Amino acid sequence: MKKQNVTIYDVAREANVSMATVSRVVNGNQNVKDATKQKVLNIIDKLDYRPNAVARGLASKKSTTVGVIIPNVTNTYFASLARGIDDIATMYKYNIILTNSDGNNQRELTSMNTLQAKQVDGIIFMGNEISEELRSEFKKSRAPVVLAGSVDASGKIPSVNIDYRQAVYSEVTNLINNGNDRIAFVSGPLERSINKDFRLKGYKDALTDAGIPYEKSLLFETDVSYSGGYALRERLQKNEVTAAIVTDDDMAAGVMNSMTDDGVSVPGEFELATSNDTKLTEMTRPTMSTITQPLYDVGAVAMRLLTKLMNNEDIEENKVFLPFGLKKRESTK
Amino acid sequence: MKKQNVTIYDVAREANVSMATVSRVVNGNQNVKDATKQKVLNIIDKLDYRPNAVARGLASKKSTTVGVIIPNVTNTYFASLARGIDDIATMYKYNIILTNSDGNNQRELTSMNTLQAKQVDGIIFMGNEISEELRSEFKKSRAPVVLAGSVDASGKIPSVNIDYRQAVYSEVTNLINNGNDRIAFVSGPLERSINKDFRLKGYKDALTDAGIPYEKSLLFETDVSYSGGYALRERLQKNEVTAAIVTDDDMAAGVMNSMTDDGVSVPGEFELATSNDTKLTEMTRPTMSTITQPLYDVGAVAMRLLTKLMNNEDIEENKVFLPFGLKKRESTK
DNA sequence: CTGTTAGCGCTTTCAC
DNA sequence: GTGAAAGCGCTAACAG
């Protein structure tokens, strides 16, 4: 015997009021006499009535859900942002539809489409690069879009980040001050704006300001993964680098382990600094010095920004930059 | 000028057919003449019509979304399952609503409620323990529930797991064969069925079968976290353990690092085996021996099972157990 | 403070 | 093969 779902109409009838009144008490509208409100509440309780969010969404044109596009939940960096997003979303009574894109442009576009089909009220995008198509999809979207921990070359999309250029600049400067002049820059694909226009820029600026010539051979592009980093050892050694700045913690762990596994002493013969401040930086031996950044907060603030956008509130600033720091651990002198 | 959304009605009018026909072509119904189908398709394209999933959900009583309750996306173990879930969900045209519970009973219940309010077609639950209230909520739910990587003491809820007892049994036996007779059992709260009824059981059974007396003082309950593990060193040493089986990789890394940081040689003086086969096991030094388990697949199979349940298909077996293995790395002899 | 009445955009019989 | 019409369960004017 399949239990028929109880609707707003059922409780209206049972309570001898109109649907409108039931709707009012359910939605906390003040214009209801206390007595009737109680009466309705009782019936709701008795019937175990639960509002159907889908019907509500159709009628109100608000789904109280936001879409989240993430490269891969399995990546601690993005997962940390996602956690911040979900917490703030929950706080504001939104749910999250999560879709993994693997940073694949086609899948990002597909996600945008299904998310919009599901009438999400807003979208948070995390990704390494924003294609032109994607950008135009963002623009067309009736749901506002906010970038979290992701850089937009055009600079027009609301976003929450840290100042990647400045962060890398500081860290490289630190490495230089430690006496290094052959510092590797290890990152994912340089075609990505975040790597090319910000991090690499910071790296170059630091070298320039220190009067150290920039060498292309010290750029190492690879998979953003542990194994991607691990595979770099020979090339690194051949180029006689004495230090490296790495843009991802998994990748950094790979680089460092490949060195220590080969008998290289860290930080004695090789210094390493990484970028994402995930808990992995404390789990490796030696522990890894890193740029610190409030991962959770980047997600949280992005979601908060999105709530404002969804409410058409005035925004002081479209692009917010959260403070970063430098944490010295064992992998640098 | 806010663009009015184009509806099925618009394309019907424009194509000189009824809404019903448009609906048919959108849904791939065969009963449409090829010519009219083409005509409709053209208009859809021209108008850039996109079906409203919410309206569709209300009319069809199917939302094509499933709810996923996860303790914390930030935990690689669960995140890996979540990834498997999402991939299979996507394959079957479902989206995922993700909610973090922190394993908190109250929040799990809240999530169940909002998920059902949103009319999800099914629910995947990951969690360390299932309270009675939760179990009854599962039973009341019109959306089928499947557990992923989570144990149900009552044994009635569909689930996908590995045989935790057997896995721990094998690993402990291995440690015994390496000559250890003071083996620590390190886990999260023992009130959790998965720890008490399965893993601890496997530990005890292995000792018994090897004729080694069971000692309560070798049980170490703590936070399931790196720091929780790290904090255990003194107690471990005081109890003169020579090996440990740990039920979580972060926790295991903590235990191991606390030992090596104190100058204890691993595996020389202390052997360690862990349980979850996350990539962390390869990132620590020494690398950690572990139970191997198909994390992604546990999620994937759970989602597949759920699709069958949602379609009222016949299920051969409610509880599926995926194969596990043992991977020897550097932390054991 | 409360009820009436239209929809929201789509699916789904039921006819033709 | 196609159309008409009745909802799905709820919100939102509007009227009183």
β-pairing, A289-292 with A325-327? antiparallel
Which of B324, B217, B330, B313 is closest to B267 using CA atoms?
B330
The confidence score (pLDDT) of residue B314 equals: 86
Nucleotide lying nearest to A56, CA to C1' measure: D10
Is residue A275 predicted with pLDDT exceeding 50?
yes
Q: What is the DSSP string of A33-79?
A: -HHHHHHHHHHHHHHT----HHHHHHHHT---EEEEEES-TTSHHHH
Look at B73 and A55 and tell me if their CB atoms are within 8 Å: no
Share of chain A above pLDDT 90, in %: 93
CA(B201)–C1'(C6) in Å?
A: 64
B23 touches strand C (CB under 7 A): yes
Q: Quote the CA–CA distance of A44 and A250 in Å, as a whole number.
A: 52
Give the residue on A whose Cα is nearest the Cα of B50.
Answer: A117
The confidence score (pLDDT) of residue A1 equals: 35
Q: How many CA atoms lie within 13 A of B261 on its CB side?
A: 19
* pLDDT tier for residue A29 given thresholds of 50, 70 and 90: confident
Q: Which two tokens stand for residue B163?
A: 């045989």
Q: Quote the CA–CA distance of B223 and A256 in Å, as a whole number.
A: 29
Report residues 15-74 of A contacting strand C, contact meaning Cβ closer than 7 Å.
16-21, 24, 30-33, 35-37, 55, 58-59, 61
* Helix (H), strand (E), coil (C) string for A280-306: HHHHCCCCCEEEECCHHHHHHHHHHHH
Look at A73 and B55 and tell me if their CB atoms are within 8 Å: no
Q: Which two tokens stand for residue A33?
A: 């006499």
Q: Which nucleotides of D are covered by protein (CB under 7 A)?
A: 1-13
A288 Ramachandran zone, left/alpha/beta (phi>0; psi -120 to 50)? beta
Helices H, strands E: what count in chain A? Answer: 15, 12
Does A86 or A154 have the greater pLDDT score? Answer: A86
Residues touching nucleic chain D (CB < 7 Å): A 5, 7-9, 19-20, 23, 26-27, 49-52, 55-56, 58-60; B 16-21, 24, 30-33, 35-37, 55, 58-59, 61
Task: Quote the minimal CA–CA distance from A215 to chain B in Å.
Answer: 30
CA(A114)–C1'(C5) in Å?
A: 33
Is residue B158 predicted with pLDDT exceeding 80?
yes
Q: Quote the CA–CA distance of A42 and A61 in Å, as a whole number.
A: 29
The confidence score (pLDDT) of residue B277 equals: 93
* pLDDT tier for residue B2 given thresholds of 50, 70 and 90: very low
Q: Quote the CA–CA distance of B253 and A282 in Å, as a whole number.
A: 10
Q: Which nucleotides of C are covered by protein (CB under 7 A)?
A: 1-13
Q: What is the DSSP string of A151-186?
A: --TTS-S-EEEE-HHHHHHHHHHHHHHTT-S-EEEE
Segment A217-225 mean pLDDT: 95
Segment B280-305 mean pLDDT: 97
Q: Tens digit of pLDDT for each residue in A95-123? A: 999 999 999 999 999 999 999 999 999 99
When CB atoms are compared, the residue of B52, B83, B114 closest to A95 is B114
Is B147:B125 a contact under the CB 8 Å cutoff? yes
Is residue A2 predicted with pLDDT exceeding 60?
no
Look at B250 and A279 and tell me if their CB atoms are within 8 Å: yes
In angstroms and rounded to an integer, the radius of gyration of the C-alpha atoms of chain A is 25
* pLDDT tier for residue B31 given thresholds of 50, 70 and 90: confident
Centroid of chain to Cα A280: 18
Q: Which two tokens stand for residue A24?
A: 């009012």
β-pairing, B289-292 with B325-327? antiparallel
Is residue A3 predicted with pLDDT exceeding 80?
no
β-pairing, A319-322 with A325-327? unpaired
Q: How far is CA B207 from CA B11, B171, B180, in A?
A: 71, 11, 11
Is B132:B122 a contact under the CB 8 Å cutoff? no
Q: Tens digit of pLDDT for each residue in A45-79? A: 999 999 999 999 999 999 999 999 999 999 999 99
Indicate the pTM of the whole model: 0.94
Q: Tens digit of pLDDT for each residue in A157-191? A: 999 999 999 999 999 999 999 999 999 999 999 99
Report residues 29-68 of B contacting strand C, contact meaning Cβ closer than 7 Å.
49-52, 55-56, 58-60
Q: Quote the CA–CA distance of A174 and A272 in Å, as a whole number.
A: 11
CA(A45)–C1'(C4) in Å?
A: 26
Mutate to test the interface with A, among B1, B73, B83, B136 (most CBs of A within 10 A): B73
Q: Quote the CA–CA distance of B4 and A36 in Å, as a whole number.
A: 39
The confidence score (pLDDT) of residue A4 equals: 62
Nucleotide lying nearest to B60, CA to C1' measure: C11
Share of chain B above pLDDT 90, in %: 94
The confidence score (pLDDT) of residue B40 equals: 95
Is residue A280 predicted with pLDDT exceeding 80?
yes
The confidence score (pLDDT) of residue B201 equals: 97
Q: How far is CA B129 from CA A154, A244, B27, B84, B323, in A?
A: 47, 44, 41, 21, 22
DSSP A189: -
The confidence score (pLDDT) of residue A31 equals: 84
Q: Quote the CA–CA distance of A4 and A8 in Å, as a whole number.
A: 13
Q: Which two tokens stand for residue A285?
A: 């031996």
Q: Quote the CA–CA distance of A185 and A200 in Å, as a whole number.
A: 8
Q: What domains, with CATH codes, occur in chain B?
A: 8-51 (1.10.260.40), 63-162+295-323 (3.40.50.2300), 164-292 (3.40.50.2300)
Total residue count of chain B as it appears in this document: 333
Which of A230, B169, A210 is closest to A244 using CA atoms?
A230
Does A260 or B1 have the greater pLDDT score? Answer: A260
The confidence score (pLDDT) of residue B4 equals: 62
Is A303:A91 a contact under the CB 8 Å cutoff? no
The confidence score (pLDDT) of residue B154 equals: 86
Give the residue on B whose Cα is nearest the Cα of A82.
Answer: B73
Look at B82 and A73 and tell me if their CB atoms are within 8 Å: yes
Q: Which residues of B touch A142 (CB under 8 A)?
A: 2-3, 5
